[in-house]
Structure 1
Amino acid sequence: MRAARLLTLLLVAGCSVAPHHKPAPTLQVPAAWRAAPGGEGVVARNWWRSFGDPALDALVRRALDNNGELRIARSRLEEYRARVRVAQSASLPALNLSFGPSRARAIGPLGQPVEVTSVAGSVQASYELDLFGRIAATLDAARFEALSQEAASDAAALSIAANTASGYFNLLGLDAQLALARATLASRERSFALARHQFEVGYSSRLEMSQAEAELHATAAVVPQLERAIAQQEQALSLLVGASPGPVARGLPLLEVRLPAPAPGLPSELLRRRPDIAQAERLVLASDASLAAARDQLLPSIRFSASLGAQGGSVARLLRDPVELWSVGGSVLAPIFDAGRLRAQADIAATVRDRALFAYENAVRAGFAETENALAGIDGLRRQLLEAEARSRAANEVLRVARNRYANGYASYLEELDAQRTAFSAETNVLQLRAGLLAAHVDLYRALGGGWTPAP
């Protein structure tokens, strides 16, 4: 009686573990965006089509089909789905078949060596009764981990699509700048030829000719710089779409690409729009289930087993007149003393759960910040582009007047050169801001989750 009581006390002591409370939440969801009003905001899954460029659509589709990082992410997702099947198998009975002949020599009852030949076959079955839910918790953890990998794969696809669109718009911006640089270079060549002719006939000074020559070489140096940047951007896009380095097809010119108007919606809606936030949330659920499974390791486990077989001296005897063998049994395994190993494993699982919670809050805050930055970027770049376009118009008017004054002898050629530099800089700034504004719209689509919705 005393031994039974002692055993009961040891079981209770071995199964007890202090509760692992979740850390207090610190996340606060803002009621509205600072840079834009709230309201309904629905982003299409194929959001890149809103720019109206068929070449961009084809490029993004190629990237989503062939990108190497996405193929790795999809392979990893299949791995975690297989892990779910592994965890699910623990909740079902296991059946094993064994068959084999044997021959042995032993000492008989009279001290003489005896050789025995036997052939045996059997079927064994085993099953663990999930009385305390450990197997179910392990299965839940595997399922949530697979769901988190599914969201991670979707997040990778969104990132690849956004990077492809941003790279494409950067390429269009470089194309436009190269066309402007080449047109300006042709104008500089004509200006230098005129300045040299006027110097040779004595109508202008060497200073004006030298200034025209310097401006010609400065503009000529911009062309190979832009050509190199275009080649590098094409290689980057080729890598994104899973292709060998080569030219990238263009569609609309930079200034003809449509500027969409995505609505941000409410901040609270962002929590179910972004795949990275869903990934972090599912990892919290997975770690919570893993903690439950780790705590259940401290509880007894109950196993049942059974086997049915036959044995004979030969295959013929096994089939004709076998000796039937069978066994049925069960076992209860309860941890009593393991030097704190199981408790430490539960503590480790609790810290993993806490880190998953902190990572989820960080992911949500990062989503809010990225959306605010994208909204502020679009607003600022749009206003900046309006001012840059006004400056470009004014600079071109200054250039027109300076040319007329120089042609009529009212000003020196240096005045026209200064006007040319200002106009070229202003037009280049407009093209850079236009490409930047398109990229800012891509950033907003990325921040809003790219039209992602969780799979049912």
Structure 2
Amino acid sequence: MHAPSPLTAGLLTSLSLLLAACSAIGPDYQRPAQPDLPTQWKDQGTWQAARPADQLPKQAWWQQFGDATLNRLEQDCIAHNATLAQALARLQQAQAQAGLHAAATLPSVGVGMSASRSRISADRPLSNYNSPNSSTIQNDYKPTLSVSYEFDWLGRVRRDVESASASAEQSRADSENVRLLLTAQLASAYFQLRQLDEESTLLRQSISLQEKVLQLTRVRHQEGLDNASALATQQAALQAAQAQLSLLGNQRRQQEDLLATLSGQPAAAFSLSQGSLPAQLPAIGGGLPAQLLERRPDIAAAERAMAAANAQIGVAKAAWFPQLNLNPGYVGYESNRLGNLVSAPALIWSLGLQASQMLFDNGKTQAAVRYAEAGYQATTASYRQTVLQAIQESQDALSTLHGLSEANASQQQAVDSQRKAYELSLLRYREGLDNALTLAINQQNLLAAQRLQSQLRGSQFVWSVSLLKALGGDWQATTAN
């Protein structure tokens, strides 16, 4: 065999470059238009517009609450949570899959070596009986370098790589979304537990006062100042409060078990000492609805799913056209003696193109194209729904926080009023104008008002976490009273 002439080699090179320069088949992906978005939130109140940047690494948002125990639990969650580890493993799979598809853009090169020694029979059949026939022993040494390559003249490979890369980006956004959901769930459970701690403390104080009131009522009943109905009512109130304390204890244990699971620890060996809610609530910037597109990882994942589905349309359409492959192609040497192996007479090579075209597939290719187009339409609808859901979640959280803020302000006034009533009753008791029963009842009313205030504050922290999750896990934070 002879080496290809410079003209032939130049033509093959030009053909390769020309085919590589062809535009890829199928529609080019374009980011979708945003759904109709409102320009501002309802009941914005004092929320400040934020400046989100989804491309930047997410910060440890939970540190804004200033709670060391919460910070430790969040770190344990990121390090040990099995669900997050599973999401990260899937991300690694998607990245490896993208690398697998990208490898098809370059030729595959392999090396081979064969060596054999064979004996030919002297009695073998011949086509010409006038030729002498003898037994022969031969060596055959054959090292080769092989090359195979698919000419991507329609861009099928490029579309396939584009789809795999978008899927890897989608997986990255999915893993970030799992991280956000888990850390937000942990923070919400932690604040619910701390609110239960505060409520239980106040309820224990109330029970202690009710026990004193019951003793005073029993004395007054013995002295004929209170009837049996008053005594029974006070006993029922005390028993109801004790039952509430037991229920709060059960709820706390459930939240504690949930925190153990989220932080990657067995619930049976996990416990948290009593504590309280943080002293102050961080202010969270709501921003505009359009800015959610830059923050939320689930929206980013939905958008990348559209890009991957769009590229699959081109992959499916490429099946309508011929496929060109450099196969087989190799260069090497073959000789019966090692001494002459690397020499010009021993040089061997092969170069050829292989083309294949499906003529009839009973509508298989058309069905594949329709399937890819329907998949793109499905991801488009999913993207729009994800955006609308994000706006709803943010608006719900903002509205709820606004309502809780007003309720907490009103309840603070109620607490102040009950405190003044208690202080006046205490003063009157010291002056002998009020009895111990009246003083205890006023103090019990104060504790009840404080308990409701604690519930409202706990709800504020929980809904702050919900807003954080709705906004994508980060914000410009300042401290508010």
Instruction: Give per-residue Cα distances to partners, 1:90-119, cap 9 Å, x unaligned.
Output: 111112334456779999324999999867
Contact in 2 for aligned 1:20/1:350 (Cα 8 Å) = no
How far apart, in 2, do the equivalents of 1:324 and 1:342 lie? 43
Counterpart residue number, 1:268: 290
Counterpart residue number, 1:204: 226
Relative distance call for 1:339 and 1:436 in structure 2 (3 A) is: same
> Aligned-pair distance for 1:235?
0.7
How far apart, in 1, do the equivalents of 2:453 and 2:119 lie? 92
Relative distance call for 1:116 and 1:160 in structure 2 (3 A) is: farther
Counterpart residue number, 1:380: 403
Q: Alignment partner for residue 362 of structure 2, among 334, 339, 345?
A: 339
Q: Alignment partner for residue 73 of structure 1, among 87, 90, 96?
A: 87
The answer to whether structure 1 residue 41 and structure 2 residue 50 are counterparts is yes
Q: Alignment partner for residue 366 of structure 1, among 368, 389, 412?
A: 389
Q: Residue 216 of structure 2 aligns to which amino acid in structure 1?
A: L
Relative distance call for 1:104 and 1:42 in structure 2 (3 A) is: farther
How far apart, in 1, do the equivalents of 2:407 and 2:199 lie? 18
> Aligned-pair distance for 1:58?
2.1
Runs of at least 5 residues in structure 1 that lack an aligned partner in the other structure: 1-16
Counterpart residue number, 1:82: 96
Relative distance call for 1:377 and 1:158 in structure 2 (3 A) is: same
Counterpart residue number, 1:355: 378
The answer to whether structure 1 residue 124 and structure 2 residue 151 are counterparts is no
Q: Alignment partner for residue 193 of structure 2, among 143, 148, 171?
A: 171
Counterpart residue number, 1:434: 457
Q: Alignment partner for residue 30 of structure 1, among 38, 45, 50?
A: 38
1:151-300 aligned at under 5 Å gives the runs 151-245=173-267, 246-248=270-272, 253-254=276-277, 256-300=278-322
How far apart, in 1, do the equivalents of 2:349 and 2:29 lie? 48
How far apart, in 2, do the equivalents of 1:369 and 1:192 lie? 50
> Aligned-pair distance for 1:434?
0.7
How far apart, in 1, do the equivalents of 2:409 and 2:29 lie? 55
Q: Which moved more, 1:390-399 or 1:297-306?
A: 390-399
> Aligned-pair distance for 1:307?
2.1
Runs of at least 5 residues in structure 2 that lack an aligned partner in the other structure: 1-24, 53-57, 128-132, 476-481
Q: Which moved more, 1:373-382 or 1:321-330?
A: 321-330
TM-score using structure 2 length = 0.78
Paired residues in the alignment total 430
Contact in 2 for aligned 1:310/1:318 (Cα 8 Å) = no
> Aligned-pair distance for 1:240?
0.9
RMSD: 3.7
Q: Residue 87 of structure 1 aligns to which amino acid in structure 2?
A: H
Relative distance call for 1:421 and 1:211 in structure 2 (3 A) is: farther
Relative distance call for 1:400 and 1:46 in structure 2 (3 A) is: same
Counterpart residue number, 2:16: none
Instruction: Give per-residue Cα distances to partners, 1:240-272, cap 9 Å, x unaligned.
Output: 111122113666x22x43111112122221111
Relative distance call for 1:410 and 1:168 in structure 2 (3 A) is: closer
Q: Which moved more, 1:281-290 or 1:395-404?
A: 395-404
Contact in 1 for aligned 2:196/2:248 (Cα 8 Å) = yes
SS at match of 1:127: strand
How far apart, in 1, do the equivalents of 2:67 and 2:181 lie? 19
Contact in 2 for aligned 1:173/1:432 (Cα 8 Å) = yes
Counterpart residue number, 1:109: 125
Q: Which moved more, 1:323-332 or 1:382-391?
A: 323-332
TM-score using structure 1 length = 0.82
Q: Residue 60 of structure 1 aligns to which amino acid in structure 2?
A: E
Q: Which moved more, 1:89-98 or 1:341-350?
A: 89-98
Contact in 2 for aligned 1:90/1:135 (Cα 8 Å) = yes
Q: Residue 293 of structure 1 aligns to which amino acid in structure 2?
A: V
